[in-house]
Amino acid sequence: MRKHFSAKTKGLMVLAVFLAGLVTVTAVISTRHPGRNLVQTALTPFRSACSTLVRNTERLYNYIFKYESLEAENAALKKRIFDMEKDVRSADSLQRENERLHQLLGLLDEHEDYQTVSAYIISWVDSSWKSAFTIAQGANSGIDTGMVAITEYGQVVGLVTEIGSNWATITTVLDSALGISATVASTGYNGVVEGALATGSQGLLRMNYLPTDSVLRNNDQVLTTGSTVYPRGLILGYITDADFDQTGVAKYALLKPAADLDDLEQVFIITEFENQ
């Protein structure tokens, strides 16, 4: 065995450790790592081509085996559900909620103050512990870190956390790294929404710091409260469960994310908005 441990092999092992240290130090010093930017920029055309191929293959498969009509019907039904939910909310008896919901709903159609850039998703982070993806638009299209990504229905997808010239990484709401100030639309309770992976509920969001006496109903809609980062009234998710947290002095709610991240192909980055 010893003859295989040549000086070169040992040298390569030391080099690997040295490079790991160097990458770590560089990442700490600089937010925009040059190596990462170079590789991501070079990979973007390949990823774009590959994701387009995958998307088209998926569409062809659906066309042959699932029929295009089913896809169209599904899209129409989703739109109809969205419109019905909007109607239900509008019919709420409380004037205060009504007024606010009227302001918050409609999003892109009603909020002319939103400036958005559309982008296709080209790859996903390959870690089971992180929920993030890369889009094929970057600083060249006016995108910057800290901008919010939404769907066409105004559902929050995530936040731009890394940027290159022709690519950007978006960390989704499912990731535990994000904490979003949020409100239960029907009652006005405030809390902080974050990914629930750390608590063993993968694929769900968790709304923390809710008042002990709060009354939470299933399917209640949770919206962003509004900050310098997140515009007010974007849809985060729907309550599926609630309980007291470990301390017993506050409640938490588990939410189903409003955006269907599994079938997400395209997102819209809000590049400018007027904070209300």
Partner 1 sequence: MFKHFHLTKRQWQGILKWSLYGLLTLLTLLFQTVVLSHATGLRIKPTPLPVLIVCICVREGPERGGIYAISSALLWCFAGAEFGNLSVAVLPIGAMLSAILCRAVLTLRFVPTALCAFAVTLVNASLIFLFKLILPPTVAPENYWNILLPGVALSLVFLPVQYPLVKHISRIGVRNEL
Scanning 45-53, 76-84, 97-105, 215-223 for contacts with partner 1 by CB under 8 A, the matching segment is 45-53
Q: Residue 64 and residue 148: Cα distance in Å, rounded? A: 36
Scanning 126-134, 143-151, 244-252, 266-274 for contacts with partner 1 by CB under 8 A, the matching segment is 126-134
Q: Is 96 a residue that touches partner 1 (CB under 8 A)?
A: no
Taking residues 147 to 186 in sequence order and writing x for each that binds partner 1 by CB under 8 A, - otherwise, the string is ----------------------x------xx---------
Let me know how long the chain is: 276
Please state the closest distance from residue 66 (CB atom) to partner 1, in A: 14
Of 114, 116, 134, 216, the one binding partner 1 (CB under 8 A) is: 134
| 262, 118 Cβ separation under 8 angstroms | no
Shorter beta-carbon distance to partner 1: residue 142 or 179: 179
Phi, psi of 233 (to 5 degrees): 85, 10
In 3D space, the residue among 219, 203, 210 whose CA is nearest the CA of residue 257 turns out to be 203
Of 168, 197, 210, 222, the one binding partner 1 (CB under 8 A) is: 197
Size of the site for partner 1 (CB under 8 A): 54
Question: In the range 235-264, which residues lie near partner 1 by CB under 8 A?
Answer: 262-263
Of 122, 148, 207, 235, the one binding partner 1 (CB under 8 A) is: 122
Scanning 21-29, 73-81, 95-103, 227-235 for contacts with partner 1 by CB under 8 A, the matching segment is 21-29
Token pair for 85: 């939910």
Beta strands in 57-141 (DSSP E): 115-124, 132-135
The Cα-based distances of 205 to 68, 200, 236 in angstroms read 32, 11, 9
Beta strands in the chain (DSSP E): 115-124, 132-135, 148-150, 156-163, 168-172, 180-184, 190-195, 205-210, 221-224, 235-244, 251-257, 266-272
Of 109, 126, 213, 243, the one binding partner 1 (CB under 8 A) is: 126
Q: Is 24 a residue that touches partner 1 (CB under 8 A)?
A: yes
Q: Is 60 a residue that touches partner 1 (CB under 8 A)?
A: no
Q: Is residue 263 packed enough to be buried (19+ CB in 10 Å), middle (13-18) or exposed (0-12)?
A: exposed
Of 17, 29, 64, 91, the one binding partner 1 (CB under 8 A) is: 17
Neighbours of 71 (CB within 10 A): 13
Shorter beta-carbon distance to partner 1: residue 29 or 91: 29
Token pair for 29: 């010093």
In 3D space, the residue among 22, 17, 45 whose CA is nearest the CA of residue 164 turns out to be 45
Q: Which residues bind partner 1 (CB under 8 A)?
A: 1, 4-6, 8-9, 12-13, 15-17, 19-21, 23-24, 27, 33, 35-36, 38-40, 43, 46-47, 50-51, 54, 121-130, 132-134, 169, 176-177, 195, 197-200, 202-203, 262-263
